Amino acid sequence: MELYNLTLTEIAKKIKDREVSIKDVLDSTFKRIDEVEGKVDAFITITREEAYKEAEKLQQRLDSGEDIGVLGGVPIAIKDNICTNGIKTTCASKMLENFVPIYDATVITKLKEAGAIIIGKTNMDEFAMGSSTESSYIKKTKNPWNLEKVPGGSSGGSAVTVSGEMAFAALGSDTGGSIRQPASYCSVVGLKPTYGLVSRFGLIAYASSLDQIGPFTKNVEDAALMLNVISGYDKHDTTSANIEKKDYTKFLVNDISNMKIGVPHEFVKDGVNEDVKASYNNAIKTLENAGAKIVDIDLEYAKYSLATYYIIATAEASSNLGRYDGIRYGFRAEEFNDLEDLYNKSRTEGFGEEVKKRIMLGTYVLSSGYYDAYYKRAQQVRTLIIENFKKAFEKCDAIIIPTAPNTAFKFGEKTENPLEMYLEDIYTVPVNIAGLPGISVPGGFDRDNMPIGIQFISNSFEEEKLIKIAYTFEKNTNFNVEKPNI
């Protein structure tokens, strides 16, 4: 047993109790990174030096009897679209390849206040657009369970740092599934909070009405602790919810005996891989055996989520990415004739294929002749989907659904046909469309020993229900204990 094998909660306690020094923990973490990173390529930037400096300061404070916070001395990895003061934040794009923010995102400030040590920035799909991390301009991240397969995306690097035990937790962002789907492909816990619970200040925007930051962890207990740290009102984010803070660790109880769990049978009938379906059915049984009442629900409009998502997300992206014009910051083409040409060349050379495709699609659905037919229609369907969930939550406390219809696929397998890639998000995007929280937990393995994720969804700002159900599920299955052989 090495220190890096411990969970976040366990290592934080060992540090606090002075059983191990923070330097010991960093040594173990970087030893693991040196062993594994060359195989999986999860990081874009590793901040080894800064981490050791921070460790020294924290240790001094601890030694002088100070409380250094609930994450005191714990190494954590951050997706490379979350701004870190003085540390490159690239969005895995040539456009921001050399961008060094001059401020911390609010979540980073909160992590630092809680004593966490940032050990690096992780690989992702360019501007968080994708489901496999293959659209990164920088490198391809491999799945620790099978190096020939993708880790999922867009937060693939963050999922791999936790799955490969190179970090005790990581932050990702989820616009249409980018935390939950890679968590499912890599057998870790991934939590997408309610829209507005976690500040987006300092998160480089993809689609602002859908984006949320959330944690990747080894188990549900750690997810509750991370959520405690990163949630809360922030005056810098106008969509941040000004509500009372909850202590999610209070809901780590193995008891769901008075809870109702909804199963949307119609929605999961077709297009789901056989092994995923089997794990899903087993998960329902596990909850029923643990005392939950299983009820049927109908999410009749959820099947339109994907179409709705790819209109709304691309429309917002086309607007958000308008700022990369080659003038203020980011990549600038070297040769150009005039201003128009500078814009043109900088954007043509600075953005990758997937990003350009989405900017064009988004510009199209917002253009005056098509706005009503596409964008406005998508907003109307969004309302129907929201109402659909509202009605469902009159009948149940939470919904159980697979995280993704398939397990991790091979590199290049879905890049030729983008629609197939987009279909991997079928069970995650409805949650973002409706602004709800969702959690993916390890739910078993397919016949090739690739991880399967099970997702729980609750009503807005009811993360405590997710924590309770996910914790009970974990305690009754223990799939999270299995580690990749790497």
Q: How far apart are CA 380 and CA 383, in angstroms?
A: 5
Minimum CB separation from ligand GLN for residue 314, in Å?
8
Minimum CB separation from ligand GLN for residue 144, in Å?
20
Distance of CA 177 to the CA centre of its chain: 7
**Contact window for ligand GLN (CB under 6 A) among 22-30, 176-184, 374-382, 402-410:** 176-184
With b for 16 or more beta-carbon neighbours within 10 A and e for fewer, the 332-364 pattern comes to: bbeeeeeeeebbbbbbeebbbebbeebbebbbb
Element containing residue 79 per DSSP (H, E)? strand 75-79
Q: How far apart are CA 226 and CA 114, in angstroms?
A: 10
Minimum CB separation from ligand GLN for residue 135, in Å?
8
Which residues ranging from 275 to 334 are in contact with ligand GLN (CB under 6 A)?
313
The set of residues, in sequence order, having a beta carbon less than 8 Å from that of 459 and lying 6+ positions away, is 389, 390, 393, 436, 465
Minimum CB separation from ligand GLN for residue 183, in Å?
12
352 binds ligand GLN (CB under 6 A): no
Strands 43-46, 117-122: pairing is antiparallel
Among 80, 104, 425, 463, binds ligand GLN (CB under 6 A): 425
- For residues 177 and 451, which CB has a smaller minimum distance to ligand GLN in the complex? 177
Q: How far apart are CA 23 and CA 75, in angstroms?
A: 11
72 binds ligand GLN (CB under 6 A): no
Residue located via tokens 């309610």: 194
Minimum CB separation from ligand GLN for residue 101, in Å?
19
Among 128, 198, 204, 361, binds ligand GLN (CB under 6 A): 128
Q: How far apart are CA 479 and CA 482, in angstroms?
A: 6
175 binds ligand GLN (CB under 6 A): yes
The set of residues, in sequence order, having a beta carbon less than 8 Å from that of 324 and lying 6+ positions away, is 95, 96, 330, 331, 346, 347, 350, 351
154 binds ligand GLN (CB under 6 A): yes
**Contact window for ligand GLN (CB under 6 A) among 34-42, 173-181, 334-342, 382-390:** 173-181
Minimum CB separation from ligand GLN for residue 440, in Å?
12
The DSSP-derived string for 362-416 is HHHHHSTTTTIIIIIHHHHHHHHHHHHHHHHHHH-SEEEEES-SS---BTTTTTS
- For residues 214 and 330, which CB has a smaller minimum distance to ligand GLN in the complex? 214
400 binds ligand GLN (CB under 6 A): no
Minimum CB separation from ligand GLN for residue 486, in Å?
25
**Contact window for ligand GLN (CB under 6 A) among 27-35, 85-93, 106-114, 129-137:** 129-137
Number of separate helices (H) and strands (E) present in the chain? 15, 11
Catalytic site positions: 79, 154, 178
Give the residue among 215, 251, 231, 174 at the shortest CA–CA distance from 8: 215
**Taking CB positions, which residue lies at the least distance from ligand GLN?**
178
Q: How far apart are CA 225 and CA 231, in angstroms?
A: 10
Assigned token pair, 442: 């390890």
130 binds ligand GLN (CB under 6 A): yes
- For residues 178 and 228, which CB has a smaller minimum distance to ligand GLN in the complex? 178
178 binds ligand GLN (CB under 6 A): yes
- For residues 51 and 355, which CB has a smaller minimum distance to ligand GLN in the complex? 355
- For residues 177 and 193, which CB has a smaller minimum distance to ligand GLN in the complex? 177
Which residues ranging from 206 to 245 are in contact with ligand GLN (CB under 6 A)?
206
The DSSP-derived string for 255-269 is --TT-EEEE-GGGGS
# chain residues binding ligand GLN, by CB under 6 A: 13
- For residues 9 and 136, which CB has a smaller minimum distance to ligand GLN in the complex? 136
Q: Please give the torsion angle defined by the CA atoms of residues 478, 480, 485 and 486, in that order, rounded to the nearest 10 degrees.
A: -160
* Amino acid in position 151: P
**Contact window for ligand GLN (CB under 6 A) among 126-134, 219-227, 375-383, 412-420:** 126-134
Among 90, 106, 109, 131, binds ligand GLN (CB under 6 A): 131
The set of residues, in sequence order, having a beta carbon less than 8 Å from that of 340 and lying 6+ positions away, is none
Minimum CB separation from ligand GLN for residue 207, in Å?
8
- For residues 104 and 425, which CB has a smaller minimum distance to ligand GLN in the complex? 425
- For residues 206 and 471, which CB has a smaller minimum distance to ligand GLN in the complex? 206
- For residues 424 and 463, which CB has a smaller minimum distance to ligand GLN in the complex? 424
The set of residues, in sequence order, having a beta carbon less than 8 Å from that of 401 and lying 6+ positions away, is 264, 267, 268, 280, 427, 455, 457
**Contact window for ligand GLN (CB under 6 A) among 67-75, 172-180, 225-233, 393-401:** 172-180
Residue ranges in contact with ligand GLN by CB under 6 A: 128-131, 154, 174-178, 206, 313, 425
